[in-house]
Amino acid sequence: MIKKLAIVIISLLIGMTCIACQPAGSIRFQVDRFGGIFQAKDGRPVGIFHSQEEVKTFFENYDLIWDNLPVWEEYSNDFFKENALVFYSCSRDDQSIKRSIHNVYINQNTLMLDIVEEVPESRVHGDKIDINLDSVFLTFLIEVNQTDIIDINKVDAEFRFEIIK
């Protein structure tokens, strides 16, 4: 019991430290619901889009099932006058873990996504976390200001665990 409590306290302190000391270059962002389902066969689709045409060209290369309108029809050319869209996807183990972007920042020439994976305390055993091997394909669509990412051409993510009760 004491060991579990120590792990939780350490995890919370690490989480608070990361939030309190946001990396230099943090930028404002809004996560939008992607609105499509697809499975990529080649790597992980990632892109930064500065126009409606770029979005359309990128997603036409994939076989998608859209909830409503295709993403390029959801964003008008007016949106791209001041904003850009960032798309990030990857495959991760364990469908039951909730994941969310807590911060977006620039590291050298890369837009970094700080993604937190919330793990229930009951799945922590010593210094190990029980992870199911059933994988999930994550997709994030992020709206950012064009001026914040003017010289950025790469997107990557850092995943970290947060223990929750």
Task: Identify the pLDDT of residue 1.
Answer: 41
Q: Please give the model's pTM, rounded to 2 decimal places.
A: 0.77
Task: Identify the pLDDT of residue 64.
Answer: 81
DSSP 110-140: EEEEEEEEEEEGGGEETTEE-----EEEEEE
Task: Identify the pLDDT of residue 45.
Answer: 84
Dump pLDDT digits (tens) for 77-101: 999 999 999 999 888 899 889 999 9
Residue 106 predicted with pLDDT over 60 = yes
Dump pLDDT digits (tens) for 25-49: 677 887 877 776 655 556 678 999 9
Instruction: Please name the residues in contact with 47: beta carbons below 8 A apart, sequence gap of 6 or more.
Output: 54, 58, 86, 87, 155
Strands annotated E in 67-109 = 83-93, 98-107
Dump pLDDT digits (tens) for 141-159: 999 999 999 889 899 999 9
What's the whole-number mean pLDDT along residues 104-110? Answer: 93
